[in-house]
Structure 1
Amino acid sequence: MRTILWIIAVLACTSASQAEYVETMQENGKQWNLQKDFGLVDNNAKSNQSELLQKAIDDVSAKGGGRLIMPKGTYKFAGVFLNSNVHLLIEKDTVIKPYWPKGTKAGIFTLSTKSMDKGHIENVSIRGMGGSFIVDYSDRERDPNEGCRAINCRQVKNFLLSDILIKDSWTKYCSVNFTPSKADDAREWEVFRPTDGLVKNLKSTDSSSGYGLLQMHAGDTIHFENLWTSGGGVCFRLETGGGGENGGIDNITAKNIYCENGLSAVLMGPHKSQNGMVVIDGVTANSCATGVTMGPGFVEKRNLDNPNYKPGRFADGSTVKNVHVIFGTNAPISLKGIGNVPKEYLDDLRWGKTGNNRLRGPSMYVVKDLTGDSWTPVIKNVTSEGFKYNDGIVVGKKEPRANYREILKGYPVLGEIPENHRSVSSSEQVSGKAMDTKKKSEKKKKK
């Protein structure tokens, strides 16, 4: 019996390692220049040239595809859909800014059909030419009612993303997203989620601690390599609950994931999705709250009556290996999770710009396993530096919200927390200040 299980595990890992993009861009094939052939203007992003870029992409696709070259410059785009057989090559150090009116949500590139109906695009890529190009919205002030996605992948097959640097400013949403179609019959389609892809050499800076570089809600047979983020969020976020009934990932491999001063290098949380195999090899976290976080499967309260949902999981044999975590003191720490910080580090806490209610403080965990009995991750070869507490793999349950006012009473950082960030948690309803606030609001209602 053990021999049979071992063979199944080997076959599963072998299958996962075969995820790859097949190159269709011909070295000496047809190519067009966006400036010379279509009139793109390098005007320091003073005008929105999305319509021009969209027409160029559609024209190249209609002619059988080829390379579409964007010369170095600074441009503004939003709502651009890639089309089949088009390879968008963006010259190194080119800067792309989103067309993003105040009070709205924006997306720059989408790898999918323009319609949400049945259909897909294939054999496409967006890649830096000669090095990374830059997507820059670092000058945007965070507004919780706004958000920007640099790239969203949906109904696409055989695709490549490479050599991209995203400069965020703790805004809402992950920079690169993988989502499914939400059509009721989507699972009957040939392609309803990103399929057969390669994503490599992606970096982001200053992403919100509640989001990060890359988020997977759905995807099939995709390899990720050399992902890097610094400043706030999660580098490789496999939190698959947002895909609805068509969410879920399968046959996902990743190599060389790096995060510094962020929430976590890798986060795996199935929510209600029934996921297939995931194999991640090579994770480094430096001054992050947690090196690797494994979350449980569960069904949200609003979906408990849906018979199609049950607590999610990742396939048996899903693995994270070769993990190295370095202790630091610039990790984002949530107010509700302040109870996890050892008392001797409370003096070192400070309010930091992270995108939501978070302080900056010490790394707290090397690997945090909260899966319970919902699924069983394989975690191998974990090393660390500098940890006095919570070294190695910590298995436990999600902690209750902490009363940060009581914990931080007498510490300088309490006075640094802006008034508009001082939310009252359920555990604080018994504290004097919280009760006073509650009584005042009740009096106002009576008036």
Structure 2
Amino acid sequence: MKKTTLIKFFIALLAFGLNYSCEQKIATKIDSDPWETAETIIQNTTVPSFQDSIFNLTDFGAVGDGVTKDTKAFQHAIEACHNAGGGKIIVSKGTYLTGPIHLKSNVHLHLEEGVEVLFSKDLDDYLPLVHTSYEGVELMNYSPLIYAKDQKNIAITGKGIFNGQANQENWWPWCGSERYGHKEGMPAQKDAHNLPTLRKMNEEQTPVDQRVFGSGHQLRPLFFEVLNCENVIVSGVTFTNAPFWVLHPLKSSNITIDGVTVNSHGPNNDGCDPEYCKNVVIKNCIFNTGDDCIAIKSGRNNDGRAVNIPSENIVVQNCTMKDGHGGVVMGSEISAGVRNVFVRNCTMDSPNLDRAIRIKTNTLRGGFVENVYVKDIEVGQVKESVLRINTFYGIYANQEGDYMPNIENINLENITVKNGGKYGILIKGRAENPVKNITLKNVTIDEAQQTTSIENAEKIKYINTKINGEIMN
């Protein structure tokens, strides 16, 4: 190699390194006013736009009687819209029975008022297998009910209902709980050929195309998943009776969830779970769920560490959280980390809402959570705590490992709580790496059974904060 060429090579390499370093700093930098950063995230989250072309689902053979399967009508309409360069597919008033809906680039699916889309109870309709995810681990499994992979510019809007038709007889029994229809002798996700096998594949980093599940297995499909997609909006529609997690953006960017209602109380019915995602805005939504309302994730164990894409730049605003294990949660599948989360102007209130803000991990998951800002929240009632941070999380055995989690810079401001549950603040950190830099400003928590329970955390900074009338300092 000539000397001049070698010099140019090293200059380019240095420039790349500097650029990468700057990108990393930008990704983690928070302005002196963090809410200016939140506004910047909103402005930088691209919302898709579409051609004016209109496609009516009925023109592609849809019947809409709730009995005839309209799967092919959805497929043909989406294909035609995509091939024409994009546009809007109108689903007119009616009840449409269908298998999975696979969206493509530049397609806007619009449900008019009075539309209900019923998803088939026939498991074979969710074949062939697709590249998807289950509890933070990628695999080949039944198709999500609504799915897109490697697409750009997608919208689902309207006032209609997506009904997954999951219940105690369909999908839910696989969770293994009698409450959800499981009976002794029935197969369940905990069986050796299901989750234990997938966990081992995760540990050994088996290639995803060799993690083959689906028929003969009992791992429930997601309701809505976009994988490796850009510029996605879901607006106005309602999701109910989900088999598993409801809204799951995965390895995607520029995601807007606006005015959506999730009313689904099945097992693991998380409302919205951004995972390995950047620039996500969740606003004006109602979550009434069987699990976490919003749970921000970034992969489980070795999968998360191998992918190594933090979930970052996420804004939640003007939402209502009712039933759920947590209002806004980070974890537990969090091995690649979460940062820059902003939550404001939300209402959280239910005797069946366990916590308002929750962070959960352990030393198998590891990961980090940093730069979390929560402001202007009204909490009526929570069952357990207003803020819970747990680095010993584990509903399964053997949750200890070699990956020490790091949690720091968690800020709560202008929070009022009428009934604080068992604890106002509940933190369980690690002696080897305590939770750091927790600030509560203008927080008032009433009727907590115990003000705080804090282990292995640096001294919390209290500013004008009261729990049960006691000034905290």
Give TM-score scaled by structure 2 length.
Answer: 0.61
Matching residue of 1:151? 224
Matching residue of 2:57? 34
Equivalent runs, 1:352-367 vs 2, <5 Å: 363-367=383-387
Q: Pick closer, same or farther for the CA change 1:292–1:8 going to 2, 3 Å.
A: closer
Deviations 1:359-381 (A, max 9, x none): xxxx1212212259711122222
Segments of structure 2 that go 5 or more residues without pairing to the other structure are 1-28, 127-141, 175-217, 393-404, 431-473
1:321 equivalent in alignment to 2:363: no
Task: Give the letter aligned to residue 338 of structure 2.
Answer: N
Matching residue of 1:295? 360
1:81 equivalent in alignment to 2:102: yes
Deviations 1:211-249 (A, max 9, x none): 421112221112111222225221111132246332531
1:204 equivalent in alignment to 2:204: no
1:175 equivalent in alignment to 2:203: no
Segments of structure 1 that go 5 or more residues without pairing to the other structure are 113-119, 180-192, 301-310, 329-362, 399-447
SS where residue 47 of structure 1 aligns?
A: strand
Q: What is the Cα deviation at residue 66 of structure 1?
A: 1.0
SS where residue 154 of structure 2 aligns?
A: strand
Equivalent runs, 1:234-383 vs 2, <5 Å: 234-242=292-300, 244=304, 245-246=306-307, 247-269=309-331, 271-286=334-349, 287=351, 288-296=353-361, 298-300=363-365, 311-315=366-370, 317-327=371-381, 363-370=383-390, 374-376=406-408, 377-383=410-416
Quick check: 46-55 or 65-74, which moved more?
Answer: 46-55
- Confirm or deny: 8 A CA contact 1:226 1:255 kept in the other structure: yes
- Confirm or deny: 8 A CA contact 1:100 1:106 kept in the other structure: no
Matching residue of 1:344? none
Deviations 1:399-442 (A, max 9, x none): xxxxxxxxxxxxxxxxxxxxxxxxxxxxxxxxxxxxxxxxxxxx
Matching residue of 2:426? 394
- Confirm or deny: 8 A CA contact 1:284 1:325 kept in the other structure: yes
Paired with 1:167 and 1:55, the residues of 2 have a C-alpha distance of: 25
Paired with 1:110 and 1:41, the residues of 2 have a C-alpha distance of: 22
Paired with 1:382 and 1:318, the residues of 2 have a C-alpha distance of: 14
Q: What is the Cα deviation at residue 139 of structure 1?
A: 4.7
Give TM-score scaled by structure 1 length.
Answer: 0.65
Task: Give the letter aligned to residue 81 of structure 2.
Answer: V
- Of 89, 108, 116, 2:145 maps to 108
Q: What do you get for the CA RMSD once the two structures are aligned?
A: 2.8
- Confirm or deny: 8 A CA contact 1:178 1:216 kept in the other structure: yes
Task: Give the letter aligned to residue 127 of structure 1.
Answer: T
SS where residue 318 of structure 2 aligns?
A: strand
Aligned length: 321
- Confirm or deny: 8 A CA contact 2:255 2:279 kept in the other structure: yes
Equivalent runs, 1:56-71 vs 2, <5 Å: 56-71=77-92
SS where residue 114 of structure 2 aligns?
A: coil
SS where residue 197 of structure 1 aligns?
A: strand
Matching residue of 2:208? none
Task: Give the letter aligned to residue 196 of structure 1.
Answer: N
- Confirm or deny: 8 A CA contact 1:93 1:134 kept in the other structure: no
Quick check: 96-105 or 57-66, which moved more?
Answer: 96-105
- Confirm or deny: 8 A CA contact 2:120 2:165 kept in the other structure: no
Q: What is the Cα deviation at residue 208 of structure 1?
A: 3.3
- Confirm or deny: 8 A CA contact 1:67 1:89 kept in the other structure: yes
Task: Give the letter aligned to residue 40 of structure 1.
Answer: A
Paired with 2:151 and 2:267, the residues of 1 have a C-alpha distance of: 32
Q: What is the Cα deviation at residue 394 of structure 1?
A: 2.6
Q: What is the Cα deviation at residue 148 of structure 1?
A: 3.8
- Confirm or deny: 8 A CA contact 1:236 1:257 kept in the other structure: no
Q: Pick closer, same or farther for the CA change 1:383–1:369 going to 2, 3 Å.
A: farther
Q: Pick closer, same or farther for the CA change 1:148–1:395 going to 2, 3 Å.
A: same
Q: Name the % identity.
A: 17
- Of 115, 121, 133, 2:151 maps to 121
Paired with 1:198 and 1:297, the residues of 2 have a C-alpha distance of: 30
Q: Pick closer, same or farther for the CA change 1:231–1:85 going to 2, 3 Å.
A: closer
Q: What is the Cα deviation at residue 271 of structure 1?
A: 2.6
Matching residue of 2:41? 16
Paired with 2:261 and 2:388, the residues of 1 have a C-alpha distance of: 24
Q: Pick closer, same or farther for the CA change 1:394–1:57 going to 2, 3 Å.
A: same
Paired with 1:98 and 1:325, the residues of 2 have a C-alpha distance of: 35
- Confirm or deny: 8 A CA contact 1:31 1:66 kept in the other structure: yes
Paired with 1:318 and 1:386, the residues of 2 have a C-alpha distance of: 23
Matching residue of 2:233? 160
Paired with 2:231 and 2:357, the residues of 1 have a C-alpha distance of: 29
